[in-house]
Amino acid sequence: MIELPCPWCGPRGVSEFRYVGEGATRPDPATATPQEWRAYLYLHENARGWVRENWYHTAGCRRFFKLERETESNETRAAT
């Protein structure tokens, strides 16, 4: 079982969490072109290696948090 380090609850099984994913900076809706807006919606880094990403602890503290994960081995560590 893959364990995720929740900063509030400590290490817990991955099935307690919901994956939120890569963080992306939202363009200003008032000035963004449709193309910029769609790039924000659809494009992904989809990196292989260590990434910093967002998760939600559904079956625990119900808080959003960031963690670091190696996307091929699924090794995880607290985000620095």
Partner 1 sequence: MIDRNGKYSAISLITHGLRKSEWPRAWRAHDLRKSYDVVVIGGGVHGLATAYYLAKNHGITNVAVLDKGYLGGGGSGRNTAILRSNYLTPEGVRFYDRSLELYRHLAADLNFNVMFSRRGHLTLAHNDGSLRTMRWRAEVNKLQGIDSQVIDPAQVKELVPHLDTSDETRYPILGALYHPPGGIIRHDAVVWGYARAADRLGVHLHQKTEVTGIDVVNERVTGVRTNRGAISAPIVVNCTAGWSTLISDMAGVRTPVQTFPLQAAVTEPVRPFLHAVVVSGTLHVYVSQTDRGELVFGASVDPFQSYSMRGSLEFVEGLAAHVLELMPGLSQMRLLRQWAGLCDMTPDYSPIMGTTPVEGFYLDVGWGTYGFKAGPVSGESMAQAIATRSTPEIISAFGLDRFAEGELVGEKGAAAVGH
61 is an interface residue for Zn ion by CB under 5 A: yes
CB of 5 to Zn ion, least distance (A): 10
Q: Which does 67 bind (CB under 5 to 8 A by kind): Zn ion, partner 1, none?
A: none
CB of 30 to partner 1, least distance (A): 18
Cα–Cα distance list, 58 to 11, 72, 75 (Å): 14, 24, 20
- Residues 9, 32, 51, 79: which binds Zn ion (CB under 5 A)? 9
Within 10 angstroms of residue 4's Cβ, the number of other Cβ atoms is 24
CB of 9 to Zn ion, least distance (A): 3
Cα–Cα distance list, 69 to 26, 39, 55 (Å): 23, 24, 11
Q: Using CB under 8 A as the criterion, which residues of the chain lie in contact with partner 1 when the complex forms?
A: 1-2, 14-15, 18-19, 21-22, 34-35, 38-39, 41-44, 46, 48, 71-74
